[in-house]
Amino acid sequence: MNAVLQSHTASDRLNAQQANQPTAEALLQVQGVSLEYRTPERVVRATHQVSFEIDPADRFVLLGPSGCGKSTLLKAVAGFIQPSEGQIRLAGQPVKEPGPDRIVVFQEFDQLPPWKTVIENVMFPLLASRTLKRRDAEERARHYLEKVGLSAFADAYPHTLSGGMKARVAIARALAMQPKILLMDEPFAALDALTRRKMQEELLELWEGVRFTLLFVTHSIEEALVVGNRILLLSPHPGRVRAEINSHQYDLKSLGGVDFQASAQRIHRLLFDEGEAPAVEHDLRFQDIRIAY
Ligand SMILES: Nc1ncnc2c1ncn2[C@@H]1O[C@H](COP(=O)(O)OP(=O)(O)O)[C@@H](O)[C@H]1O
Ligand SMILES: [Mg+2]
């Protein structure tokens, strides 16, 4: 699966940049973005001049300790909050407000309205946003329910489903909108360890079939290595970019392997060794590390 999961576009662009060739624009560009919360008493800076780019079909992970601004960054990409500095562009257009081209999957799947069946839940955003008429919405919903293996549960109500199944409904509902980018904020954090692993596996399988573009937030190094093909490491509060790492070589089968463990430890040091000198490539021993601060 590794070879198939690999996305070449990002490194191709980097090579082209180094060779001063003109490059295609990334799908999502986050440029020098600082995000702040203003309360009457004070200003909380959540992120400081964060930059990254996401290409189509990337599985891009924001990784960092709690409070480093991951959720805030995701909300800014979704258009719920505006940067105090820098800018965010999707397909070349500045992000100014929420839109159906960016769909967020949150951790709380209990947000699925309990009075709607599974298929009604998946159809709802398509109808509410007037993306499709009822008949086409139903067809689209059935297609994505099949993709997540829930065709047999189309007429079930959410309370009859397990946590993992609710997660799959939430993912089907998001994918049915066919967003330019799917945003997931610690989507599996509330699940038990085994279900979480299963959901990671299913997410990767789904990606194999659909090749959507994913921005995924987690504070778990292991989850980042498994889910992502690229990982942005953020330092603690306020979040700044520490490094960006290519992680396409790992999947669930790599868990526990020597190479996987070594990478996890190196990431841990990068995230938490406060006094560490600026990271340079040969220290990190990530052969394919792209930037280091
Ligand atoms: N609504 C808010 N008002 C004030 N400060 C907030 C608000 N939401 C988050 N913060 C602060 O912004 C920082 C980043 O928060 P968050 O993006 O939730 O971090 P993460 O998702 O990485 O855990 C934290 O210090 C948090 O306390
Ligand atoms: Mg968060």
**Boundaries of every domain in the chain:** 108-178
pLDDT value at 26 more than 50? yes
Range with lowest mean pLDDT among 100-114, 161-175, 215-229 = 100-114
Residues flanking ligand 1, CB < 6 Å: 37, 39, 44, 46, 64, 66-72, 237
CA atoms within 13 A of residue 28's CA, in its CB half-sphere: 27
Residue of minimum CA distance from atom 5 in ligand 1: 37
Please state, in angstroms and rounded to a whole number, the distance separating the CA atoms of residues 101 and 181: 7
pLDDT value at 6 more than 60? no
pTM here is: 0.86
- State pLDDT tens for residues 113-164: 889 999 999 999 999 999 999 999 999 999 999 999 999 999 999 999 988 8
Please state, in angstroms and rounded to a whole number, the distance separating the CA atoms of residues 182 and 77: 10
Range with lowest mean pLDDT among 91-95, 170-174, 189-193 = 189-193
Instruction: Report DSSP letters for 270-290, one per residue.
Output: HHH-TTPPPP-HHHHT-TT--
Contact 118, 154 (CB under 8 A): yes
Q: Which residues pair with 230 in a beta bridge?
A: 60, 246
- Place 287 in a pLDDT band, splitting at 50, 70 and 90: very low
Q: What percent of the chain has pLDDT over 70?
A: 84
Ligand 1 atom nearest residue 68's Cα: 22
pLDDT of residue 128: 92
| 284 or 6, which is more confident | 284
Cα angle for residues 214, 60, 76 (degrees, 5° grid): 75
Q: Which residues pair with 217 in a beta bridge?
A: 62, 185
pLDDT value at 24 more than 90? no
* CB burial of residue 243 (10 Å; 0-12, 13-18, 19+): buried
Within 8 A by CB and 6+ apart from 25, the residues are 91, 92
From ligand 1's centre to the CA of 48, what distance in Å?
13
pLDDT of residue 111: 73
Residue of minimum CA distance from atom 2 in ligand 1: 37
Mean of pLDDT over the chain: 86
Q: How far apart are the first and last CA of the chain?
A: 31
Please choose, from the candidates 47, 71, 68, the residue with its C-alpha nearest in 3D space to the C-alpha of residue 217.
71
The pair of three-digit structure tokens given for residue 91, joined into one six-digit string? 């397909």
- Place 18 in a pLDDT band, splitting at 50, 70 and 90: low
Please choose, from the candidates 105, 98, 61, 64, the residue with its C-alpha nearest in 3D space to the C-alpha of residue 81.
98
Residue of minimum CA distance from atom 27 in ligand 1: 67
Q: How many CB atoms lie within 10 A of CB 107?
A: 18
Q: What percent of the chain has pLDDT over 90?
A: 68
From ligand 1's centre to the CA of 9, what distance in Å?
32
Please state, in angstroms and rounded to a whole number, the distance separating the CA atoms of residues 59 and 24: 19
Please choose, from the candidates 247, 174, 238, the residue with its C-alpha nearest in 3D space to the C-alpha of residue 5.
247
pLDDT of residue 219: 94
Contact 234, 216 (CB under 8 A): no
DSSP three-state, residue 65:
coil
Residue of minimum CA distance from atom 3 in ligand 1: 37
Element (H, E) at 163: helix 163-176
pLDDT of residue 13: 55
Q: Is 6 left (phi over 0), alpha (psi -120 to 50) or beta?
A: beta
Please state, in angstroms and rounded to a whole number, the distance separating the CA atoms of residues 75 and 37: 12
Provide mean pLDDT across the span 71-99. Answer: 96
Please state, in angstroms and rounded to a whole number, the distance separating the CA atoms of residues 160 and 47: 40
pLDDT value at 2 more than 80? no
Q: Find how far residue 129's CA is from the centre of its chain.
A: 23
Provide mean pLDDT across the span 10-14. Answer: 53
- Place 106 in a pLDDT band, splitting at 50, 70 and 90: confident
Sheet holding 85-90, edge to edge: 43-54, 28-38, 85-90, 93-94
| 62 or 273, which is more confident | 62
| 209 or 218, which is more confident | 218
Sheet holding 181-185, edge to edge: 102-105, 181-185, 214-218, 59-63, 230-234, 241-246, 291-292
The pair of three-digit structure tokens given for residue 271, joined into one six-digit string? 């995230």
